[in-house]
């Protein structure tokens, strides 16, 4: 693999001061960004300037989710969500709106209502309060997050509260409302666990493809698929280029765009020397992007965080120290993962 070779060579470590990731991505006709949190952006100048420098798009990591915005019925609190939007407006970034319907971010009060007397008005009211508010800065949205689950039922759909309350058609209802509320935005389904050649992931890719086919056939206003790409070094032996390439071809041939939406790498052995860890992370990213970016349908790459200082992989109970699965380390130094992202975008320019 060309990209893996590039990172393995000592040359990668000696790359000259490179262009910002958003710049090299832009020259390759792609977008680069990261998920960020409003509290980190406000409190940490170093982080804010790294985000300003590297990212063309940002995804609100938690602040635009329903449970966060409306912890009590009728009391919408946009303070943190607005701070992210204002940052984006001032810094000239675009926002990827995330995530409107997600089974893990329904406020408890809404869960109780949906379980008891399902009324779509509740969902519509939430969409109406968020989407137009950010219409000037959010140009893409995750309308439904993680709808597929292997073994859930013949339709392949997760038996979420939305599914229980409204049946399988909740997906098209959400997209139709979203299209009315954001007529020019690109609307996405976002999914995880579809990256490897493992029985469950193979099955999930198939179920997801069937779902996308059904939606397109019905004329549902969906524009694309987000592939989360939370990579895991323990699963590297099961990454097979052809499996991902075929899937991307299938999705692209439905006329859908693809975003790599939450890229990061969970480490398998954080006790190894840092240089080895960083090389393994970069290699996994290089292999993945070598396939993903070769497909024109893949228009953007967003990492789930920019710096290891603010990674959900670090904060979620990793006793052996910080996970190093993002492009910048916790002091905002560029790591081999940043180099490989750079090389991956740059190789598209050179081959164009
Ligand atoms: C995660 C955030 O990173 C955490 O801080 C939060 O507590 C839970 O959600 N898939 C998604 C994201 O679509 O919204 C999730 O983000 C990570 C998995």
The DSSP-derived string for 109-135 is HHHHHHHHS--HHHHHHHHHHHTGGGT
Residues 6+ apart with CB under 8 A from 248: 258, 291, 292, 295, 297, 298
Give pLDDT, residue 193. 98
Q: Answer yes or no: is the C-beta of 99 below 6 A from any ligand 1 atom.
A: yes
> At residue 12, does pLDDT exceed 60?
no
Give pLDDT, residue 269. 83
CA–centroid distance, residue 262 to ligand 1 (Å):
9
Q: How much is the mean pLDDT over the chain? A: 93
Q: Answer yes or no: is the C-beta of 63 below 6 A from any ligand 1 atom.
A: no
pLDDT tens per residue, range 249-274: 999 999 999 999 999 999 988 789 99
pLDDT tens per residue, range 49-60: 999 999 999 999
> At residue 9, does pLDDT exceed 50?
no
Give pLDDT, residue 315. 64
State the closest ligand 1 atom to the C-alpha of 261, by its place in the atom list counted from 1: 13
Task: Find the Cα–Cα–Cα–Cα dihedral 41, 61, 304, 97, rounded to 10°.
Answer: -110
More confidently predicted of 14 and 183: 183
Confidence of residue 48 (pLDDT cuts 50, 70, 90): very high
Residue with tokens 């990731």: 21
> At residue 319, does pLDDT exceed 50?
no
Give pLDDT, residue 268. 83
Contact 188, 140 (CB under 8 A): yes
Give pLDDT, residue 56. 98
Smallest Cα–Cα separation from 345: which of 309, 267, 271, 292? 292
Q: Answer yes or no: is the C-beta of 308 below 6 A from any ligand 1 atom.
A: no
Q: Answer yes or no: is the C-beta of 145 below 6 A from any ligand 1 atom.
A: yes
Closest Cα to atom 9 of ligand 1: 62
Pocket test for ligand 1, best of 99, 265, 304 (most atoms within 8 A of CB): 304
Per cent of the chain over pLDDT 70 is 92
Give the residue-averaged pLDDT of 10-33: 80
Q: Is 277 exposed, middle or buried (0-12, 13-18, 19+ CB in 10 A)?
A: buried
Give the residue-averaged pLDDT of 274-279: 96
pLDDT tens per residue, range 54-87: 999 999 999 999 999 999 999 999 999 999 999 9
CA–centroid distance, residue 308 to ligand 1 (Å):
15
Total number of residues shown for the chain: 352
pLDDT tens per residue, range 102-131: 999 999 999 999 999 999 999 999 999 999
Strand partners of residue 259:
226, 300
Q: Answer yes or no: is the C-beta of 227 below 6 A from any ligand 1 atom.
A: no
Tell me 327's DSSP state: S
How far is residue 6's CA from residue 51's CA, in Å, rounded to a whole number? Answer: 25
Tell me 189's DSSP state: E
CA–centroid distance, residue 60 to ligand 1 (Å):
10
Closest Cα to atom 7 of ligand 1: 62
Residue with tokens 């059904």: 214
What Å distances lie between residue 90 and 26, 37, 85, 296, CA to CA? 20, 16, 9, 30
N-term to C-term CA, the chain: 19
How far is residue 102's CA from residue 71's CA, in Å, rounded to a whole number? Answer: 15
Q: How many CB atoms lie within 10 A of CB 322?
A: 17
pLDDT tens per residue, range 322-336: 899 999 999 999 999
State the closest ligand 1 atom to the C-alpha of 312, by its place in the atom list counted from 1: 3
């Amino acid at each position: 693999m060309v990209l893996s070779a590039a990172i393995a060579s000592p040359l990668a470590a000696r790359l000259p001061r490179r262009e910002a990731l958003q710049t090299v991505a832009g020259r390759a006709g792609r977008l680069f960004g990261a998920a960020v949190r409003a509290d980190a952006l406000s409190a940490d100048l170093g982080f804010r300037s790294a985000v300003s420098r590297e990212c063309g798009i940002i995804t609100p990591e938690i602040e635009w989710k329903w449970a966060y915005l409306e912890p009590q019925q009728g009391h919408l609190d946009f303070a943190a969500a607005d701070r992210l939007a204002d940052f984006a407006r001032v810094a000239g970034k675009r926002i990827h709106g995330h995530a409107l319907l997600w089974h893990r971010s329904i406020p408890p009060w809404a869960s109780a209502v949906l379980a008891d007397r399902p009324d779509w008005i509740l969902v519509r009211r939430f969409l109406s309060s968020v989407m137009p508010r950010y219409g000037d800065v959010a140009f893409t949205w995750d309308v439904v997050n993680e709808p597929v689950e292997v073994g859930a039922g013949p339709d392949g759909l997760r038996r979420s509260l939305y599914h229980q309350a409204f049946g399988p058609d909740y997906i098209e209802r959400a997209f139709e409302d979203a299209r009315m509320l954001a007529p020019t935005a690109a609307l996405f389904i976002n999914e995880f666990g579809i990256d490897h050649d493992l029985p469950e992931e193979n099955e999930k890719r198939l179920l997801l493809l069937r779902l996308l086919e059904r939606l397109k056939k019905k004329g549902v206003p969906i524009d694309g698929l987000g592939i989360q790409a939370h990579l895991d070094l323990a699963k590297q032996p099961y990454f097979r280029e052809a499996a991902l390439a075929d899937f991307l071809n299938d999705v692209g041939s439905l006329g859908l765009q693809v975003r790599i939406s939450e890229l990061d790498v969970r480490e398998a052995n954080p006790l190894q020397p840092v240089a080895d860890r960083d090389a393994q992370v970069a290699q996994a990213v290089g292999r993945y992007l070598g396939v993903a970016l070769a497909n024109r349908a893949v228009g953007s790459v967003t990492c789930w965080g920019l710096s290891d200082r603010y990674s959900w992989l670090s904060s979620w109970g990793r006793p052996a120290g910080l996970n190093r699965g993002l492009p910048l380390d916790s002091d905002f130094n560029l790591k081999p993962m940043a180099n490989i992202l750079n090389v991956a975008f740059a190789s598209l320019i050179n081959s164009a």
